[in-house]
Chain A
Amino acid sequence: MFIAATIAILITMGLALARALMGPTVFDRIAAVNMFGTKTILLIAVFAFVSGQTDLLDIAIVYALINFIGVIAVLRLITHGNFHSNEESIAKSAKVDAE
């Protein structure tokens, strides 16, 4: 029965990957990558129980954190165009935030 869940998750990952590759806007791609990451976490969790190595759950926890931070970082890069690397860009984005 774990196998059925694994196959369903893999199908979903394939569909999300297809949307990430052909998505018309960049936000479609990010949403699909976010979904792909969530399904990866679930796949790692299911695989931990299939193989009996439940230590893998720690990796799933770390992946959940990295996935979220990655999505937020990429969104930040797209909306602001930089990572606030110097003072000029900080002032510029502060103006954008004020608007």
Chain B
Amino acid sequence: MILDVLSWSLLLAGGLLGVIGGIGIHRFPDFYSRLHAAGTTDTLCALFILLGLSLQAGLSLDTFKLFLIFVFLFFTSPIASHALAHAAMKAGFKPKLANDVEAKND
């Protein structure tokens, strides 16, 4: 019973984080902040949902598979975000800074 409630709330929290990340990549003004919204919520959303599922699965082979998926995501998602930011920086994209907005308003 307690495990059910715990896994449900973890699943809900994961889904909520995913939707927040989805809204984030639409609301933020430039590429780097959008990448930040997508990259940071991705990992935590995956952690919550996979943890919630593994609480449902109990101690079995499925839990190990979920753990494997989480390990892959935990290592590859930040690496992909870093590679994206690095490639964009190399291609000459500049981050939009707070100074730019103020200078435009003055």
Contact = CB atoms under 8 A, between A and B. Distances in A.
Q: Which of A5, A45, A49, A68 has the most CB of B within 10 A?
A: A5
A53 B27 CA distance: 38
B3 to A, nearest CB: 13
Interface string B59-100: 000100110110011001101110110011011010000000
B26 A4 contact: no
Given A4-B12, A8-B16, A75-B83, A42 B46 contact: yes
Nearest to B14: A5
Interface SS of A by simple majority: helix
A65 B8 CA distance: 27
A38 B73 CA distance: 8
Contacts, number: 143
Contacts of B39: 31
A89 interface: no
Interface in B29-79: 31, 34-35, 38-39, 42, 45-46, 49-50, 52-53, 56-57, 62, 65-66, 68-69, 72-73, 76-77, 79
Contact of B35 (A31, A65, A67): A31
Contacts of B52: 5
16 contacts: A4-B11, A9-B18, A9-B49, A15-B22, A27-B91, A31-B34, A35-B42, A45-B49, A45-B66, A46-B11, A61-B65, A61-B69, A61-B72, A64-B69, A71-B80, A72-B83
Interface of A: 1-2, 4-5, 7-9, 11-12, 14-16, 18-19, 25, 27-28, 30-32, 34-35, 38-39, 41-42, 45-46, 48-49, 54, 57-58, 60-61, 64-65, 67-68, 71-72, 75, 78-79
